[in-house]
Structure 1
Amino acid sequence: MFLVDLLFPNRCLECNRIIPSEEVICELCFDQINFTHHHISESNLLTEKCRLLFPIENAFSLMQFEEESTSQKIIHQLKYGSREKIGKIIANWTVEKLDFSDSKPNLLVTVPLHPKKQKERGYNQLHLFGETLSKELKIPIDHHLIKRNFYKKAQAKKSKEQRIFNENLFSVTKNISNQHILLIDDVFTTGNTMSAIAWEILKAGDNKVSVLVMAMD
């Protein structure tokens, strides 16, 4: 392993400095990340955006997601660079900033990939992230509660067809009731994915939904 590190040293995604193998960016570039400084509460921008789409308890985003930003580079490496371990790093950053106070969820749920997509990528970028959060927060996680029903993206559909498609994009695989579920995704953009899943969870029983994302656009 030492020889591999010597021949192929780990480098900072932002400035290309050599860094320890368990890191993703150097300390100097870490200070350039645009963290949201959200508290998981009813009063941040992500909560307000979600509330326009579905009933929500709380929401938290770790970072802002901007073009050519450090956060974008980190998440793109996690999703498309075969660097699943970055999920654990982001989770540790997240845990340091989370404070649920009196509204701690009792179940973590990750947004699923379609099995074909997961096979192509080799992993779901949210699984190690979610499992690390589960361990640190002492909240159980279920990667299989939500099923993605279609492989193709809804964006290819026309407006009316897209609405119908979104309504059937996900399904709940188990009987759930009286749960406060923390729904986890990488980037919040339009909120369509979160909304589609949240409504399935809410329809399944007397449940509550909170949201946690790595970054918000």
Structure 2
Amino acid sequence: MILDLLFPNRCLECNRIIDNDLLVCSLCFGHIHFTHQAYSDLTYIKERCKLLFPVEQAFALMKFENENVSRKIIHELKYKSREKAGKVIAGWTAERLDFQDEKPDMLVTVPLHPKKLKERGYNQLHLFAETLSEFYNIPFDHDLLKRNHYAKAQALKDKQHRLETENAFSVTKDISGKHILLIDDVFTTGNTVANIAWEILTAGNNKVSVLVMAVDI
């Protein structure tokens, strides 16, 4: 209680004091550029994925644009120790994502290298996926994938380095005949999800769909 008085939770956009379980105030929430697309739509992200690997469906919650609110939210989640932001974003996702008859069998998140995980203290995708797992009653597996190499954050790489993802990930368990929903925070070039998708697809008779918090358009 005392800490809440001394260090109140503030809106990430306008700095107004807000409830502890919020990220932005009601006014700034209206400035978030949600994609307003259905899971079964032929979306921009699905078209991009189809150029890289066989994808079933693809859904992006927000648009990741320069200086917009979604960029600030994801930056807080990844770099400002705001792990609980993942739960809030999952709530927004659950309000907008309807799997209908295409519900996946498992939720799988893009893994961090153990060194990066130790540095950050958490994987920014885990609480997001766990919250969605409970809401949709779909199991998650944080250990199905392994990142093989320690790398700089994508934001710090030039375009050429972003393309150097060969053999970056491995599937750690026998898996076949599953529809996997691969979860990431931001879809930029698509090379990370494509690299992982091929690992999952070639591991057995599997299918892959994609869910990201934001897509860089």
TM range (shorter): over 0.9
Q: Which moved more, 1:147-156 or 1:169-178?
A: 147-156
Shift of 1:44: 1.0
Question: 2:54, 2:160 → 1: CA distance?
Answer: 26
Matches within 5 A, 1:1-217: 2-153=1-152, 166-217=165-216
Sort the Cα spacing of 1:56 and 1:42 in 2 relative to 1 into closer, same or farther, 3 A: farther
Sort the Cα spacing of 1:157 and 1:151 in 2 relative to 1 into closer, same or farther, 3 A: farther
Shift of 1:152: 2.5
SS in structure 2 of the partner of residue 113 of structure 1: coil
Q: Which moved more, 1:76-85 or 1:37-46?
A: 37-46
Question: 1:31, 1:157 → 2: CA distance?
Answer: 32
Deviations 1:158-197 (A, max 9, x none): 68xx86x523100000000000000000000000000000
Unaligned 5+ residue runs, structure 1? none
TM-score w.r.t. the length of structure 1 is 0.94
Deviations 1:55-88 (A, max 9, x none): 0000000000011110000000000000100000
Whether the 8 Å CA contact 1:14–1:29 is kept in 2: the answer is: yes
Deviations 1:76-118 (A, max 9, x none): 0000000100000000000010111111101000000000001
Question: 1:74, 1:174 → 2: CA distance?
Answer: 33
Give the letter aligned to residue 204 of structure 1. A
Sort the Cα spacing of 1:59 and 1:158 in 2 relative to 1 into closer, same or farther, 3 A: closer
Whether the 8 Å CA contact 1:85–1:128 is kept in 2: the answer is: yes
Question: 2:165, 2:77 → 1: CA distance?
Answer: 26
Give the letter aligned to residue 199 of structure 2. E
RMSD, matched Cα: 1.6
Instruction: Count residues in correspondence.
Output: 213
Question: 1:132, 1:157 → 2: CA distance?
Answer: 33
Question: 2:41, 2:9 → 1: CA distance?
Answer: 39
Write out the 4+ residue segments of structure 1 that deviate beyond 2 Å after TM superposition.
Answer: 152-159
Give the letter aligned to residue 175 of structure 1. D
Question: 1:45, 1:24 → 2: CA distance?
Answer: 27
Give the letter aligned to residue 4 of structure 1. L
Sort the Cα spacing of 1:199 and 1:65 in 2 relative to 1 into closer, same or farther, 3 A: same
Shift of 1:42: 4.6
Deviations 1:18-73 (A, max 9, x none): 00011110001000000001111251111111000000000000000011110000
Question: 2:160, 2:24 → 1: CA distance?
Answer: 41
Shift of 1:125: 0.3
Shift of 1:7: 1.0
Sort the Cα spacing of 1:158 and 1:184 in 2 relative to 1 into closer, same or farther, 3 A: closer
Whether the 8 Å CA contact 1:108–1:184 is kept in 2: the answer is: yes
Whether the 8 Å CA contact 1:41–1:47 is kept in 2: the answer is: no
